[in-house]
Amino acid sequence: MSAIGSILRSLVLGPPRDEQSRTDVSGSHDPQMDSGRTIYAIGDIHGRADCLQRLLDVIMDDASASGQITPVLLFLGDYVDRGDESRAVIEICAELGSVWRHEAVFLRGNHEDAMLTFLTDPIGGAAWLRFGGLSTLMSYGVPNVSESMSDGRLIDASATLARNLPKSHRTFLETTRLTHTDGNVHFCHAGIDPGTEIGGQSPRTLMWGEGTDTPPSDYPYIVVHGHVVVDAPVLRRREVNVDTGAYFSGHLTCARIADGSIRFLQT
């Protein structure tokens, strides 16, 4: 069975018992979810399909053990770049809708934003190659790429990527969202500018972190994000960060958020 097939099979049937593992870091704050559902907010994957498979197994095990009926999978962005399996990660995410029985939410990170820019403006978007794009190009079979390609080679590489990118992958990338809010919990890739109303945050702030800062303790929302690599998941009064650098650490983290509690699951 292919790696992707194994991952999707585990979502439907659950993982074999000897493959399950869970690392919990407990914390208790005051999330109040309008939906009443539990959300599993997954941090930056960066081309590590192996970590994604392991974490989905852990989530399925946790949801089953806790009796969750309608758990939500929420991805905080940065699916691509740096790791070697960006294509496989996008394939898994693009197919989740057909096998996951409940809601799945996919947010856009700065790396997807840069990839989409390269597809439409390869010369203007050439900086993408210098912070992870090369590994994504290679995962989609784009040959002879480097950080210092001529304008002609950049255009050729973009055209090859567009040809090799399955329609479902492009649709997935283009339909990712900037934010998701449930009750007093606000999800985005990079964070927020506490001086700006939550509905007025700029895409640059939400995806790239421009102007972001730690929300004060009396901020009306708990902000859940990734983007900034930390050694261990961060749980503050009004901020949660789950980017534990999976592409080099092997530790992919999600925050399990339900009414009245936040805790972490990790590979």
Coarse DSSP helix, strand, coil percentages of the chain, rounded to the nearest 5 percent: 40, 15, 45
- Residue 8's pLDDT is what? 42
Q: Which domain holds residue 257?
A: 3-12+20-108+177-266
Q: State yes or no: pLDDT of 141 exceeds 50.
A: yes
- Classify residue 231 by its DSSP letter: S
Q: Which residues contact 234 (CB under 8 A, 6 or more apart)?
A: 240, 241, 242
Residue 158 maps to a domain? no
CATH number (domain holding residue 225): 3.60.21.10
Token pair recorded at residue 203: 């895409």
List the beta bridge partners of residue 72.
39
Residue 133 maps to a domain? no
- The domain tally of the chain equals 1
Rounded Cα gap, residues 137 and 38, in angstroms: 35
Residue 142 maps to a domain? no
**Edge-first strand listing for the sheet containing 239-241:** 179-182, 185-188, 222-225, 239-241, 234-235
Asked whether 229 and 78 are in contact (CB, 8 A), the reply is: no
Q: What is the pLDDT of residues 50-96, one digit of tens each?
A: 999 999 999 989 988 887 777 899 999 999 999 999 999 999 999 98
Residue 166 maps to a domain? no
Asked whether 193 and 214 are in contact (CB, 8 A), the reply is: no
Residue 156 maps to a domain? no
**Percent of residues, the chain, with pLDDT higher than 90:** 79
Identify the CA nearest to 28 among candidates 266, 265, 256. Answer: 256
Three-state DSSP state, 30: coil
